Amino acid sequence: MKIEAVNGDITGLQVDAIVNAANQALVGGGGVDGAIHRAAGAAELHQACAAIGYCHPGDAVATPGFRLPAKWIMHTVGPVWRGGDHNEAAILESCYRRSIAAAEELQAKSVAFPAISTGVYGYPPDQAARIAVDTLRSIDSSVVERCLLVAFDETTFRIYISLLDLLS
């Protein structure tokens, strides 16, 4: 599986699936979650999420992409940072694993991930990026061929680039 870093807006990417850093109730919110809901069509996505109802931290569920270029949205709930001693790393790793598993079930060959939990959930960006890169590198997928780590800011983008260059 090829892993790349890109800087930009995840909602406009030409990939099979994008990952949404969702909340447990799947109701949409701020940050990337709100942007995805707006770009996909809030009413349609809200209805699809309401039918699912709930997503546990570390799990992932899929909905159609509606008005997005991506066919699918994988909604995953990352951990709220509480200092690192409350299973945060394992939950974040599970977000990446479960999102790839959901993408595989839908035969998605390309998946774009935001920096899960680094916004209002407060996960330190450097630690979150390390988990993202290490976890994706450890997955042997026969379906997903390409993963994009999408940074919305220059600092996160540089962290991804540094990690990918170090681990090449």
**pLDDT tens per residue across span 49-71:** 999 999 999 999 999 999 999 99
Whether 167 has a pLDDT exceeding 80, the answer reads no
Query: CB atoms < 10 A from the CB of 111, how many?
Result: 30
Name residue 13's amino acid: L
pTM to 2 decimals?
0.96
Give the mean model confidence (pLDDT) for residues 108-136: 97
Strand ranges in the chain using DSSP code E only, listed in sequence order? 2-7, 17-21, 60-64, 72-76, 110-113, 146-151
* Residue 77: DSSP 8-state: B
Which residue among 9, 16, 33, 85 is the active-site one?
Answer: 33
pLDDT of residue 166: 65
* Rounded CA separation 121/86 (Å): 13
For residue 88, the SS3 value is helix
Kindly list the distances between the CA atom of residue 121 and the CA atoms of 11, 22, 30, 93, 137, in Å, as whole numbers in the listed order: 20, 11, 11, 15, 24
Give the mean model confidence (pLDDT) for residues 107-128: 97
Is residue 140 flagged as an active site residue?
no
pLDDT of residue 30: 85
pLDDT of residue 29: 84
Give the mean model confidence (pLDDT) for residues 142-155: 96
pLDDT band, very low/low/confident/very high, at 162 (cuts 50, 70, 90): very high
**What is the residue-averaged pLDDT of the chain?**
96
2-167 in CATH: which number?
3.40.220.10
Give the mean model confidence (pLDDT) for residues 21-49: 94
Give the pLDDT confidence of 67-95 residue by residue, as tens digits.
999 999 999 999 999 999 999 999 999 99
